[in-house]
Amino acid sequence: MSSTKRLLLICIQFWVKIIFLAAVLACFEDQICLTTRNRFGYYETRSSYLKMSRKQQNLCLGVCSHNQTVKYICCGRQDVPAERRISEEQCLRNHRNNGGNILITNGMVARRNEFPFMAAIGWRALFGRNTISYGCGGALISSRHVLTAAHCLYHSNEKPIVVRPGGYDLDDEEAKDIDIERIYEHPGYNHPDSYNDIAIILLKEPYNPDNVENAGPACVWAQPLYRANVTAIGYGNTKFAGLSSPNLMKAELKTIPNQECAKYYEQDNIIYSQLCANDPVRKGDTCQGDSGGPIIMYRDIGNFYHTLPYVVGITSYGIGCGTGTPGVYTRVASYIDWIEKEPPIVVRPGGFDLNDTEAEAIEIDQIFEHPGYKHPSVYNDIAILRLKDEYYAKSFDNTAPACPWALPLHAANVTAIGYGNTQFAGLSSSVLMKTNLTIVSNRECTQYYETDGIIYSQICASDPVRLSDTCQGDSGGPLILYRNLTEYHYEVPYVVGLTSFGIGCGTGTPGVYTRVASYIDWIEKIVYF
């Protein structure tokens, strides 16, 4: 190779590296990332913000960062808002309805009602069968769901039977215990291992205190976490091998990198789905009896008058208590999909305003998930919920159920309905919303979803003029086609699709829906036979 060509090649390589380096630097600022599953989320670093050019963005695609197996595509913070998870949106709605707000080794006693989402998990006492012994903690993440550690379920030979929500002192005579209806242990947990140490407890009745301000559940944290200040709470021992506390205790801790934590747990192998926290100065720590309790991070959300509590970890295990050795916690963000997938409790039929206190909610009797669906795949994205009671709305005309559509569909005008976000990364609607869309051919739709691959059992619809669209929170809602049948005096609604997924909201990109006609045989076997 001539020296001129070699010099030219070196120059090209040099400038490619410079451009690529600039792109990567731009990617790793405090920004927002789009995963290959089209989900947005912050990727936080300690660097200053650099705005990316289009060339830099193109170079960044798919190479900026990764969280285990999920690759991130990065976008400047000023360009794209962050999408809220459905769990966070529901949590914010709970706090919006609850007004404003202003165990532990070497910790301090919590103020009354300081942690209204805290729960104590109780068993029948070994001696005195009419008394309750509280051996673990948990955090209310909805009015009926308590997040805790899976190893707590093996606290004794019996399963826990009650939960005391509200963060009350255990000796408080005004406190109320709520019976446990069902326990969901993470399928990946193998006792006594410390991995996948997470479970959800379903209460028999909701916890909605009338006399406590800010009694909304805690939110679940879904983002990466780096050296954050957190608060651990629990009723556990106040010193190693000591006595448990009837008073709710708290300790201020700081999360540390897993790499640093692994030095203390060389035999255990600390993995990403775990996180560590300690207080090397005051030796604050969790201890026996604090298991399952939350570690909380408070965040200031712009449209609230108070900071909101987020559960970032669940107390799992540690070495001693108050020794300065980091405690190990289950990282909640690693299980956000499993938490959100937790089976629903009730269905509210009739298209009511969700804030309507007179609206009827019917409990779910059974869930039929399509056998071909593999989460988080977008194919065979269909399920049927069987209600415990039949729904008859006597005060409304034309309240018969919608009909499932069983024929091919081409360029039809359809209507999408739902309670989802009214704009991308915005707030959901308590009032049922509708938008008129047009069916788009799968061939045309595939141009927008080349990596996913649109197949016949899916259909696409959009409104490229007004940019109307379905959004987060509309998932599972119907896509309706109205047909004028001669034997009826009104148009009959047919469900032609079910809201499945899309790219953003209102961008003009078609949304993707499950094609009901492709599953008509499966539907009829469950519903009509």
Regions of the chain short of the pLDDT cut 50 = 1-82, 97-107, 238-243, 424-426
Residue 401 preceded by cis peptide, ω within 30: no
Helix (H) or strand (E) holding 19: helix 3-27
DSSP secondary structure letter of residue 152: G
What pLDDT shows up at residue 88? Answer: 64
What pLDDT shows up at residue 15? Answer: 39
Asked whether the domain spanning 343-527 has the same topology as the one spanning 91-338, the reply is yes
One of 169, 197, 285, 469 is an active-site residue; which one?
A: 197
56-65 burial, b if ≥16 CB within 10 A, otherwise e? bbebbeeebb
- The tokens describing 193, both together, are 């291992």
One of 87, 244, 245, 291 is an active-site residue; which one?
A: 291
Judge whether 290 counts as a catalytic residue.
Answer: no
What pLDDT shows up at residue 195? Answer: 94
DSSP secondary structure letter of residue 518: G
The amino acid sitting at 251 is A
Write out pLDDT tens, residues 79-105. Answer: 333 455 666 666 666 555 443 332 334
Question: What Å distances lie between residue 328 and 88, 93, 227, 228, 234, CA to CA?
Answer: 24, 31, 14, 15, 15
One of 151, 273, 334, 428 is an active-site residue; which one?
A: 151
- The tokens describing 322, both together, are 């108050």
Task: Please tell me the distance from the alpha carbon of residue 16 to that of residue 12, in angstroms, as a whole number.
Answer: 6
What pLDDT shows up at residue 422? Answer: 60
Judge whether 197 counts as a catalytic residue.
Answer: yes
Judge whether 300 counts as a catalytic residue.
Answer: no
What pLDDT shows up at residue 353? Answer: 66
Write out pLDDT tens, residues 246-290. Answer: 778 888 899 999 999 999 998 888 999 999 998 877 655 566 557
CATH 1.10.275.10 fits 91-338, yes or no: no
Domain boundaries, the chain: 16-75, 91-338, 343-527
What pLDDT shows up at residue 315? Answer: 92
Q: What is the pTM of this model?
A: 0.54
Which CATH code is given to the segment(s) 343-527? 2.40.10.10
